[in-house]
Structure 1
Amino acid sequence: MFELININSLPVFLLILVRVTAFFVTLPFFSYRTIPLPFKIGISFFLAFIMFYTVESPVIIFDYFYILLIVKEILIGLLIGLIGYIIISAVQIAGGFIDFQMGFAIANVVDPQTGAQSPIIGQYFYIIALLFLLSVDGHHLLIDGIVNSYKFIPVDAFIPFQNASITEFVIRSFNMMFLIAFQIAIPIVGCLFLVDVALGIVARTVPQLNVFVVGLPLKILVSFIALFFFLSLYIILAKNLFTTMFDTMRSLLQLFGGA
């Protein structure tokens, strides 16, 4: 029962703790400022404590290679969480596309979760996506991802950074993020494009009408009506977004493991 006190197990436990802590630094939802730092440290410690008894624990000693193992664990945790954050950032990029067409591009708000400025519609979509993630226990799946990472990348294994497929995979993930953002924004942006075409026709047929005065409130009204009908479709797109995020994280783990 008190095998944890064995000093020979301390290097393995520290490696697990480093990976879990680095994972929570960049992971969506768990890395936000609104979550207290003591909670992040506590959940990292207790999760590493539980995982210590579930993963294979080879004999590791403190030497020069141990420093490389620590660096490797930090990189794994940061990159896995970062790739998930990149995919879910497609929501805010889509909101930026919509805000630009609505005329809200200049009216950014400060995101209290990340401390960065974000578009209004993007923040609205992002909150809905996070609530949907929590409602389907997606945060449990994120934690399950770091637990299953040891099936692909053992504690004493190194990452094959010379593998060119890892770089290609990251580039494809960036490409996928913009494609998802375009899919989310295209219904609203398409409606606003038709409004711009209609206003252009009106400006040519009725020169006395000031299109710039009428166009901005009209585009805002059309945008809100389109958003009202778009919400049901957005939930489906958010579900596909989270599926893509989990699949991307798993594929990156497989590449790190040399699969």
Structure 2
Amino acid sequence: MLEIINVNSIPVFLLILVRVVAFFATMPLFSYRTIPRPFKLGFSFFLAFLMFYTVNAPSIPVDEMYLLLIVKEALVGLFIGLIAYIILSAVQIAGGFIDFQMGFAIANVIDPQTGAQSPLTGQYFYIIALLFLLSVNGHHILIDGIVNSYQFIPIDAFIPFQNENIVTFVIDTFNKMFLIAFQIAIPIVGCLFLVDVALGIIARTVPQLNVFVVGLPLKILVSFVALLFFMSLYVVLVKNLFEILFATIRSLMQLFGGA
């Protein structure tokens, strides 16, 4: 009980709370608008309270360096959650590629979770990916990542921003995201490309046929049939996506820790 009310431990607890709150502000699933803010703050508080007894942090005085430590903790939490969100955004980018070929690009919908416009197919893929993440307890692994982040980034250490490997790592992460999006979209986009080729041949051989009237519903039908057979492959790609996600978070924490 004395440890709980110890005034010297309050600065350390606040630093832990800042990192956890910043992580939940950008992390997939927990950062969405559909989750009430009191739940986010309460969950962050109790998680930080549990983490306080597992982090072997020295006594930190409240001075001008303490303000810099607060900024550092906020950046660590934001970057870890943001890198996870960037990797999962590959699913929506792949859906955007598919919608552009299907003719659904003009029919974007408002995502109630983020408040931004989202492609129809991308939103469908994204919901399946989130359900798959929950089914394999991937959200537990994400929370475990922020808990274990203090093994790589001590609470009283600063981020070596002068390290050029961090910039290279972020660029490689963006490249990896677009590569994953292309891998997810290429089966459907490839089928639609073949449909375009067939429609072009028909337009040259049968000029009386209005290809623009026939082409749009035909491409939508082919897309739905291809999606039906593609779903099993999509689950495998999402599994690989999560493995890349967890490995990317670990590599980012190692870079922040100066490794």
Q: Hey, what does 1:54 align to over in structure 2?
A: 54
Q: Hey, what does 2:237 align to over in structure 1?
A: 237
Alignment length (residue pairs): 259
What is the rounded CA distance, in whole Å, between the counterparts of 1:34 and 1:236 in structure 2? 28
Q: Hey, what does 1:254 align to over in structure 2?
A: 254
Letter of the 1:8 partner, please give it. N
Q: 1:140: Cα distance to partner?
A: 0.3
TM-score, normalising length: structure 2: 0.99
SS at match of 2:4: helix
Q: Hey, what does 2:90 align to over in structure 1?
A: 90
- Report Cα offsets for 1:135-156 as digits up to 9, x if no partner: 0000000100000100000100
Letter of the 1:143 partner, please give it. I
**Structure-to-structure mapping, 1:30-179, within 5 angstroms:** 30-179=30-179
> How big is the alpha-carbon RMSD for the aligned residues of Structure 1 and Structure 2?
0.5
Unpaired runs of at least 5, structure 2: none
What is the rounded CA distance, in whole Å, between the counterparts of 2:106 and 2:245 in structure 1? 30
Percent same amino acid among aligned pairs? 80
Letter of the 2:30 partner, please give it. F
What is the rounded CA distance, in whole Å, between the counterparts of 2:95 and 2:25 in structure 1? 25
Runs of 4+, deviation exceeding 2 Å = none
- Report Cα offsets for 1:55-112 as digits up to 9, x if no partner: 1121101000000000000000001100000000000000000000000000001111
Q: Hey, what does 2:13 align to over in structure 1?
A: 13
Q: Hey, what does 1:27 align to over in structure 2?
A: 27
Q: 1:225: Cα distance to partner?
A: 0.1
SS at match of 2:148: helix
Letter of the 1:140 partner, please give it. H
Letter of the 2:210 partner, please give it. N
Letter of the 2:175 partner, please give it. N
What is the rounded CA distance, in whole Å, between the counterparts of 1:2 and 1:221 in structure 2? 68
- Report Cα offsets for 1:211-252 as digits up to 9, x if no partner: 000000000000000000000000000111111111101100
Q: Does 1:208 align with 2:201?
A: no
Q: 1:2: Cα distance to partner?
A: 3.5
Letter of the 1:170 partner, please give it. V
SS at match of 2:258: coil
- Report Cα offsets for 1:158-212 as digits up to 9, x if no partner: 0000000000000000000000000000000000000000000000000000000
What is the rounded CA distance, in whole Å, between the counterparts of 1:39 and 1:250 in structure 2? 27
